[in-house]
Amino acid sequence: TRLVKALVIAYQRFFSARRPYRVCRFEPTCSEYMLQAIDRYHSRGILMGLARILRCQPFARGGYAVSYTHLRA
């Protein structure tokens, strides 16, 4: 899980931060969601984050979701 967290943080710092405008339709962003899910659920959080990324497409409604509200640890 540490490697995945490091990759997500690198993505946030080097790719996401360089965008001129915010493009994510979700709150929190998919990368923040994945970090929260990993902190709370460890390896299961990686799967939760990947599922969230798969929902990130033009036909998704977006919205607000916190990783720890719909599953119990």
Query: Are the CB atoms for 67 and 33 separated by under 8 Å?
Result: yes
Quote the pLDDT of residue 43.
92
> Which tokens belong to 59?
């036909």
Work out the average pLDDT over 21-38: 83
Residue 35: how many CA atoms within 13 Å on its side-chain side?
A: 12
pLDDT at residue 37, rounded to an integer:
92
Between these two residues, 40 and 69, which has the higher pLDDT value?
A: 40
- 28 preceded by a cis bond (ω within 30 of 0): yes
* Structural tokens at position 37: 């899910």
Region 16-31: what's the mean pLDDT?
78
Q: What is the percent of the chain where pLDDT is above 70?
A: 79
Segment 4-28 shows an average pLDDT of 84
